[in-house]
Structure 1
């Protein structure tokens, strides 16, 4: 995980900052991990809860379940004997956790990790959890949760191990997570600014995960000492009411060397928050509705039998999807989606997939939200892990020396008959290759929040100084065109109505942008892609269309897509 680059005015950073004062109503209390070496759990859940509360402006102040993360995130972790922060964040991002009241922490008393009680397909409703907002306890105490999905995070990111970068991150987004080396004298800390005394240097030391919530300068001594203000997880009776101060700017006890790894600067999300699409046949929830249109629909339903309304192969089911940032576990799913776009082209799809995953602060994958409560067993596979779509962008200019990008550029030049030569040659151009792939049976409406999120992330990355300041975008669209030559078909072709778009939202994009090339992929497609047709069926030729749009056209593109799908 590479550190992100930040752009900010260092001179504007305050001399001191105390999160306990700034976020007095939202900062998580200091907890006691007890007889369990679970600082990795405490710091992760507390930082996630802190940022949720801060970024929701106090509307969602929920302590998150540490026992849930400790007991259920058990792959590659050591429970009460330690754990990996990256795996903890991956679990929070992939599965999420319930709130503390729903699943209280008990391992501190037993020193043992109990069996996980939260099924990976469970949610707040199936767990019968209540949500009590810590900022408004009396009004939120209900048996029905205000949200259904578990508390999930976007992917974690790392910030550079520099004093000013850490300060700016805290100021802009909230507490950060850090790992420090614990020396024997740290256990004896009571007050003041901690600095390792150097005694017992031969004694074995370990590592401990904490939350940095602020900074300041200690003026009690002749020489001022800069410090970090840090929340520990050893209870209120330890240190300065559960907190400690440690020398800042000198990487004391490695607290700055192990660059703080923090939850992304976005609000935590539940399943379906980015793209919540319910595919189901409309039904009336209130039979007493006074809408004449609805009454007419009811009468039609009464006249039709069930088999007339839905054929044997046309039954509709309710499905919810959630947009998530790509991680390593999504590799094969993303690669399969890229294969359905490029087919037999000589392009290293593994390399492209790795680029998409490496820049996990840009783009989304589409996953199914599973709310079934018969979820104790995992023998039916990880349906929630399957990748149903990917929406992302790769900077072809920035990665011009990467072999798979060279292959993509060569492919684009061949298919556009060299129309992109000058665009690629101009060093001032930053060209992004857009990916908008998903399973063929997923409705196009799901693309709107995914594209909106992509545009937002591109803007944020650009402002953060990352290589996403695009001048142009290239999109390869999938379509099928009728092969009939009769007069009626020619009329349709003139109107453009002889084309079936695999992703319907790409039709208005094609109209806005400049079409640089269109070509058949019939010889590269199998029957699952090109279709098999009876003699009486209209024949369609599977094609690809390469469209170029400018960065200035991106907002208009989003507007047109929304209007088209409405």
Structure 2
């Protein structure tokens, strides 16, 4: 079982032998045929990967630090919500995340003082629903689920409308585009352990549901292809295939009671750099997955199995 950062970070910081010993262990070996691997220590994860001539990099997991992580988390939130990021108080949301420093992780390289390359957290929607940043998200996700239709339209708005009885954990996760997927399973596993520890300590993390917010994209007819007829381009739009920015989402979806991709409200107002995706045949969209609490651990385990088998 993964170590609990929340209980042991102070001990880790007082032990000068841990970092060097674990770093040596995680970066040893020069066999190019060995698969990527991670090593869980008392408070962090080291991930080492060697691909031919690429230099090994150690990724470390840290608790949130309000004095360090605000801007890095806000930048990743802006990426997560894409065109609709302007609809939210991202500063207020970032504050909530970094102040909740015993749940979730940032993933960094070299030093804790650097900006996060990835982050993962869960917020109690029932507890924070009166706060403006969370109220905005609750209204937005309920409306977007209804817009998407299907099982999400039937399940998500009802769960969010009954936060007196449903304790919903909003899972937010994002990473830089070139981050290796292998850093993700330790982050999710550690989140499960930290939630268990928080519940044991009487903290408000005994969720009935988890609502995972992510993003996805469709492969669409490229507007750069002037040779295609109008009929061919229309058919391509109708047959657009859903793809995943985060490969683990495909596995998490298998355990979800409802899942849906939804169009961004502000996508027509996106900057030219965003519209370039669609011109090249890529149309970003939001994505949400509603998971019953009893299936969350199985989903996290499946992520680890899937990423491990894909390497």
TM bracket, shorter-chain basis: 0.7 to 0.9
Q: 1:325 aligns with which of 51, 63, 66?
A: 63
Give the equivalent residue in structure 2 for 1:234: none
Residue 301 of structure 2 corresponds to residue 556 of structure 1:
no
CA drift of 1:324 comes to 0.4
Following the alignment from structure 1 to structure 2, what is the Cα–Cα distance between the partners of residues 345 and 415?
Answer: 16
Give the equivalent residue in structure 2 for 1:218: none
CA drift of 1:454 comes to 0.3
Following the alignment from structure 1 to structure 2, what is the Cα–Cα distance between the partners of residues 405 and 533?
Answer: 30
Structure 1 residues 561 and 267: alpha-carbon distance in aligned structure 2, compared to 1, 3 A threshold: closer
Give the equivalent residue in structure 1 for 2:92: 351
Following the alignment from structure 1 to structure 2, what is the Cα–Cα distance between the partners of residues 501 and 527?
Answer: 22
CA drift of 1:532 comes to 4.3
CA drift of 1:352 comes to 1.2
2:204 partner SS: coil
Please say if residues 142 and 160 of structure 2, whose CA atoms lie closer than 8 Å, have aligned partners that are also in contact.
no
CA drift of 1:476 comes to 1.8
Aligned length: 261
Structure 1 residues 505 and 386: alpha-carbon distance in aligned structure 2, compared to 1, 3 A threshold: same
Superposed CA offset, 1:254-294 (max 9, x none): xxxxxxxxxxxx9744xxx424142x3237xxxxxxxxxxx
Q: 1:466 aligns with which of 180, 203, 209?
A: 203
Superposed CA offset, 1:108-145 (max 9, x none): xxxxxxxxxxxxxxx74xxxxxxxxxxxxxxxxxxxxx
2:23 partner SS: coil
CA drift of 1:520 comes to 2.6
Give the equivalent residue in structure 1 for 2:228: none
Residue 280 of structure 2 corresponds to residue 542 of structure 1:
no
Structure 1: stretches of 5+ with no match in the other structure: 1-46, 53-91, 100-122, 125-145, 150-265, 284-315, 371-382
RCO greater where, 1 or 2, for CA within 8 Å and sep 6 or more? 2
Q: 2:108 aligns with which of 367, 375, 379?
A: 367
Please say if residues 415 and 517 of structure 1, whose CA atoms lie closer than 8 Å, have aligned partners that are also in contact.
no
2:127 partner SS: coil
Q: 2:268 aligns with which of 523, 540, 560?
A: 523
Looking at secondary structure, tell me which structure has more helix per residue.
2
Following the alignment from structure 1 to structure 2, what is the Cα–Cα distance between the partners of residues 397 and 277?
Answer: 38
Following the alignment from structure 1 to structure 2, what is the Cα–Cα distance between the partners of residues 531 and 560?
Answer: 34
Residue 204 of structure 2 corresponds to residue 475 of structure 1:
no
Following the alignment from structure 1 to structure 2, what is the Cα–Cα distance between the partners of residues 556 and 531?
Answer: 38
Structure 2: stretches of 5+ with no match in the other structure: 1-8, 25-39, 147-152, 222-231
Give the equivalent residue in structure 1 for 2:52: 282
CA drift of 1:531 comes to 4.3
RMSD: 3.0
Equivalent positions of 1:264-279 (< 5 A) are 268-269=42-43, 273-278=44-49
Following the alignment from structure 1 to structure 2, what is the Cα–Cα distance between the partners of residues 563 and 346?
Answer: 36
Bigger radius of gyration among the two:
1
Structure 1 residues 530 and 472: alpha-carbon distance in aligned structure 2, compared to 1, 3 A threshold: farther
Give the equivalent residue in structure 1 for 2:161: 425
Structure 1 residues 386 and 434: alpha-carbon distance in aligned structure 2, compared to 1, 3 A threshold: same
Following the alignment from structure 1 to structure 2, what is the Cα–Cα distance between the partners of residues 526 and 407?
Answer: 23
Following the alignment from structure 2 to structure 1, what is the Cα–Cα distance between the partners of residues 234 and 165?
Answer: 47
Please say if residues 121 and 171 of structure 2, whose CA atoms lie closer than 8 Å, have aligned partners that are also in contact.
yes
Residue 141 of structure 2 corresponds to residue 412 of structure 1:
yes
Structure 1 residues 424 and 147: alpha-carbon distance in aligned structure 2, compared to 1, 3 A threshold: closer
| Runs of 4+ residues deviating >6 angstroms | none
Following the alignment from structure 1 to structure 2, what is the Cα–Cα distance between the partners of residues 514 and 335?
Answer: 29
Please say if residues 322 and 366 of structure 1, whose CA atoms lie closer than 8 Å, have aligned partners that are also in contact.
yes
> Please, what TM-score do these two structures have when normalized by structure 1?
0.42
Give the equivalent residue in structure 2 for 1:396: 125
Structure 1 residues 529 and 366: alpha-carbon distance in aligned structure 2, compared to 1, 3 A threshold: farther
> Please, what TM-score do these two structures have when normalized by structure 2?
0.74
Following the alignment from structure 1 to structure 2, what is the Cα–Cα distance between the partners of residues 477 and 526?
Answer: 20
CA drift of 1:401 comes to 1.2
Following the alignment from structure 1 to structure 2, what is the Cα–Cα distance between the partners of residues 405 and 267?
Answer: 33
Q: 1:513 aligns with which of 223, 245, 256?
A: 256
Structure 1 residues 450 and 525: alpha-carbon distance in aligned structure 2, compared to 1, 3 A threshold: farther
